[in-house]
Amino acid sequence: MKIGELAAATGTPVRLLRYYEEQGLLEPDRLDSGHRRYGDGAPAVVRRIRALLDAGLPTRVIRDLQPCIRQDGTIAECTLETLQEHLEGLDNRISALAETRTSLAGLISATQAHEQALV
């Protein structure tokens, strides 16, 4: 299939498909004319890429994980450590954001209390 057909089949913009190719996530065949041709499995690959991106994984990690992805789209255990590291990173960011939120809420409360005291 052509890149436009893959875009339509997956709801992914052509520009993004080209980016996936640049990142080594998607490998089309090239015709003599230079046009891209994608195999029948390309829509599943694109959906898998999108799912991994939605899970917060950067493209470089997805590229590294690709050898561990089974034909049925499930991820082999060889990726477990990497996935756990990313989960830990998310937990740390969530914790930091919660602390930041608490500080901001405190500033808002203090400002509102000060404004009410002036009235």
From first to last of its 119 residues, the chain has per-residue pLDDT tens of 999 999 999 999 999 999 999 999 999 998 888 888 999 999 999 999 999 999 889 999 999 888 888 877 778 888 888 889 989 999 999 999 999 999 999 999 999 998 888 87
Q: Which residues contact 61 (CB under 8 A, 6 or more apart)?
A: 82, 86
Q: Please tell me whether residues 71 and 103 are part of one structural domain.
A: no
Which CATH number do you get for residue 30?
1.10.1660.10
Question: What pLDDT shows up at residue 115?
Answer: 86
Q: Please tell me whether residues 116 and 91 are part of one structural domain.
A: yes
Can you tell me the distance from the alpha carbon of 43 to that of 6, in angstroms, rounded to the nearest whole number?
6
Q: Please tell me whether residues 5 and 32 are part of one structural domain.
A: yes
101-to-26, 35, 75, 91 alpha-carbon distances in Å: 39, 50, 35, 15
Question: What pLDDT shows up at residue 71?
Answer: 76
In terms of residue numbers, what domain contains 113? Answer: 77-119
Q: Provide the 10 A C-beta neighbour count for residue 42.
A: 21
Q: Please tell me whether residues 97 and 63 are part of one structural domain.
A: no
The tally of domains found in the chain comes to 2
Q: Please tell me whether residues 117 and 70 are part of one structural domain.
A: no
